[in-house]
Amino acid sequence: MDERVPRISSMQKGRITKYQPCPQIHLPDRQWPSRTITTAPTWCSVDLRDGNQALAIPMGIDEKLAMFQLLVQLGFKEIEVGFPSASQIEFDFIRRLIEENHIPEDVTIQVLVQAREELIRRTFESLHGAHRAIVHLYNSTSPLQRRVVFGLDKPEIIAIATRGTQLVKELLPTLPGTEVTFEYSPESFSLTEIEFSLEICEAVVDVWQPTPEHKIILNLPATVEISTPNVHADQIEWFCRHLRNRETAIISLHTHNDRGTGVAATELGLLAGADRVEGTLFGNGERTGNVDIVTLALNMYTQGVDPFLDFSEIDAVRAVYEKCTRLEVPIRQPYAGELVFTAFSGSHQDAINKGMAAQDPEPGALWQIPYLPIDPKDLGRSYEAIIRINSQSGKGGVAYVLESEYGYQLPKAMRIEFGKIINRLADETGEEILNRQILETFEHEYLKPRGPFQILSFRTVQEVDLLNHETVECVARVSHEGQIHELRARGNGPIDAFTRALNQTKLVQFTVRSYSEHALSQGAEARAAAYIEIQNDKGESYFGAATETNIELTSIKALVSAVNRSVRATRKETDSTYDKISV
């Protein structure tokens, strides 16, 4: 047995008594399953507080300022900037934002505070001079917190919340010129009896006395995610349906990701009636993190809903985030990860390649590309990284790289041939094959003269007989293993004539099966690419390729390339491609 694997399991088997399922909500006529998200919620970033407290090395003031400016650029209108009563750096950062006029007129800062008198007063001191602010008050409400942490019963927990609310209300005159919105969170809402959550929130509402014009924010945090997303949705819908004077409240979600379903729980919570979402960029937060607002917003975008957040330069967003937080966005993170728009699988590559060719190029046209639910260009990503090559890749991916990066449009059958060459290279190296290596392999295999035949000179003369039939005579000098041969033959075109001339030497016997060409560039000195497939006297097919400014010479060089590849294969001169290219 592997010594790293424990010999005795500590997990319970059979009937699990250590854990119990989350209580279900009785809601037989639930409405959220039949709803659709059609508008974006109000977004509130909590990167600067909830996200920051989860960092091994918290952000300094300069880093927090850079993050704040990024959030503003992305379009956040509500940003939680700190817990000013928790530390001096938190307090100082908020003062710097206000005093140095970093807060745009249309952005509301949010500050977090526990329902304790001295902390509330310190919080108000931090807000002097702000145009608008959300004061976010919270206290823990779950049975476990009531019993283990506070040793208080329900009325005493309610009293903490209402006293804190009353003090916030009394302190409003100390902030002249500041538009204050009040937010209350029954912390651990997800673990609190639903009836008690409603009771304490309504007690707070009774003290605050909101109106439809000046609403209260009731934030219902899944501080610890303990249920499947559908149960969370039931909790939110039940709360919204039973709350008195619902029109005076903004229902806000603050979902954590302990079960790995924070995004799903938030989406279902919005279907259930919530209006607002608190979360972080890329899901940074305690334990497994807060809900990822980037994923949420772009999920909506792919469904045709404007999220009112701009992630059109997602790599730049990721760079600022990683610099400020010292965290790395995983390579498979939805939308932002390095590899999320990359296909290694051969069948995926082939489908993407064909989808790209068929996609309507008109701006705003319906996006329909297999395996790509969003256009990478919408996020500032380029197509060059969509298809990358390893041993799992196929002909479609290799062809896509050659065409999209270097302009080579390989015939379908040639894609199969060259795809096998690249697969062999990937097997030899055991590594991903870079685009540059694909090009070098293509040049080494097809474009660089290797083999017994070398074309030294070539010219053609067109002739017309008495019946007005056009023929072409080719005159060529060819080197075969160092010996010079003067060749001359007639055909219906340059390729046919040169094929007849080579076959007359008896040095090689073949027929031409296919030919294609295309321009590689524009202008007077435009280069062309030609591809020729031949079949040798053993019935085996081989491709050749060449590039030149003279299309006639290009086709002849492509023919020589194919002949040389056929001869080398017959002689089993199958050297390692890996040894011929830079790695």
Query: Which domains are delineated in the chain?
Result: 36-325 (3.20.20.70), 346-446 (no CATH), 453-580 (3.30.160.270)
**pLDDT at residue 469 is higher than 80:** no
Q: What is the mean pLDDT of residues 205-223?
A: 97
3-state secondary structure 291-337: CEHHHHHHHHHHCCCCCCCCCCCHHHHHHHHHHHHCCCCCCCCCCCC
Q: Are strands 276-279 and 249-255 parallel, antiparallel or unpaired?
A: parallel
Higher pLDDT, 258 or 341: 258
Q: Which residues contact 151 (CB under 8 A, 6 or more apart)?
A: none
Unique residue bearing structure tokens 């091994």? 56
pLDDT at 580 over 60: no
Residues with Cβ within 8 Å of 201's Cβ and at least 6 positions away in sequence, in order, are: 184, 186, 218, 239, 243
Tell which residue, 266, 276, 318, 316, has the closest CA to residue 296.
266
Range name among 127-141, 216-230, 401-415 with the lowest pLDDT average: 401-415
Q: For strand 541-548 and strand 528-536, is the pairing parallel, antiparallel, or unpaired?
A: antiparallel
Q: Is 102 annotated as a binding residue?
A: no
Band of residue 392 on the pLDDT scale cut at 50, 70, 90? low
Paired with 546 in beta bridges are 530
> Does the annotation place 378 within a ligand binding site?
no
**Does pLDDT of 257 surpass 90?**
yes
The pTM (predicted TM-score) of the whole model is 0.75
Q: State both tokens at 17.
A: 């008594």
Q: Cα separation of 82 and 61, whole Å?
A: 11
Query: Does residue 582 surpass a pLDDT of 50?
Result: no
Tell me if 444 is assigned to a ligand binding site.
no
**Which phi and psi angles does 218 have, rounded to 5°?**
-105, 105
* Cα 497 from Cα 555, distance rounded (Å): 12
User: Rounded mean pLDDT of 395-401?
Assistant: 75
Percentage of residues in the chain having pLDDT higher than 70: 93
pLDDT of residue 396: 65
pLDDT at 357: 86
pLDDT digits (tens, 9 = 90+) for 121-168: 999 999 999 999 999 999 999 999 999 998 999 999 999 999 999 999
